[in-house]
Amino acid sequence: MDTFAAVLWDMDGTLVDTEPYWMRAETDLMHAHGLNWDEEKGLLMVGNDLLTSARILVDHGLPLPPEEIVEILLDAVIEQVAEHVPFRPGARELLDALRAADIPCALVTMSYRRLAEAVVAACPPGSFRALVTGDEVPAGKPDPAPYVLGAEALGLAPEDCVALEDSIPGLTSAEAAGTLALGVPHLVPIPEAPGRVLLPGLSGIGPVELREIAGRMRSGRI
């Protein structure tokens, strides 16, 4: 039996480097209301579901309903994505290699479907067989539900899937779901933990490397 059957991808910060887009949108919105906000505060938002992030802005004084905040931020990020989709190094190459090897992928993101579809449209055709988005899950990351649903969408159990995540909430979600979870830290460090695998990036990673890592995880050699 192969060491894994599918790959579940986080989007923001893992597949694409859109976190700066979110930070710009948050900063612009807060400044428009005369409120202080900067990149350091923006790091508080990385990996959260969007309503949680919106409530953080409310807690910092933004006088808008969280649901309205989410839509304003989504509009701003989608506008930036329409101009340029900033793929993370190695991400497109890994997608191509997985597709060539007939290994299915699902996108598991806390961004809403309209943003996820804009990003997927910029990926090679057929890259993703399923999308699980933040506006369609019963609970967001770090709850395991998103990754459980991602595996189910491909007809698989979570333990048959490799998950790629750049954030602490996302990696916590993937680990709790029972996937072969790989951390790919980007803007926010991910702490080491027993059995946790952290990659320096996706460049040079293909199906062969993922099989080797997954095999070591299954055998307890990590």
How high is the mean pLDDT of the chain?
A: 94
Give the integer Cα–Cα distance in Å for 207 and 211.
6
Which listed residue (10, 17, 49, 160) is catalytic? 10
Prediction pTM value: 0.89
Res 148: pLDDT: 98
Which residue out of 12, 17, 160, 166 is catalytically annotated? Answer: 12
pLDDT at position 102: 96
- The pLDDT of residue 191 is above 90: yes
Which has more confidence, 95 or 38?
95
Which tops the pLDDT comparison, 219 or 34? 34
- Identify the pLDDT of residue 188: 86
pLDDT of the residue at 105: 98
Least confident of 41-55, 107-121, 191-205: 41-55
Name the more confident of 48 and 136.
Answer: 136
Judge contact between 75 and 64, C-beta under 8 A: no
Cα distances (angstroms) measured from residue 48 to each of 12, 123, 167, 174? 11, 24, 9, 14
CB-CB contact of 5 with 160 (8 Å) = yes
Written as one letter, the residue type at 52 is T
Given a cut of 90, whether residue 195 has pLDDT beyond it is no
Q: Is 135 one of the catalytic residues?
A: no
Q: Is residue 210 over pLDDT 90?
A: yes
Whether the predicted pLDDT of 121 surpasses 70 = yes
Average of pLDDT values for 173-183? 97
Query: What whole-number distance in Å separates Cα of residue 4 and Cα of residue 136?
Result: 26
The confidence band for 10, taking pLDDT boundaries of 50, 70 and 90, is very high
DSSP letter assigned to residue 22: H
Known catalytic membership, residue 10: yes
Q: What is the DSSP string of 64-119?
A: S-HHHHHHHHHHHHHHHHHH---BPTTHHHHHHHHHHTT--EEEE-SS-HHHHHHH
pLDDT tens across 20-69, in order?
899 999 999 999 999 999 878 888 788 778 899 999 999 999 999 999 99
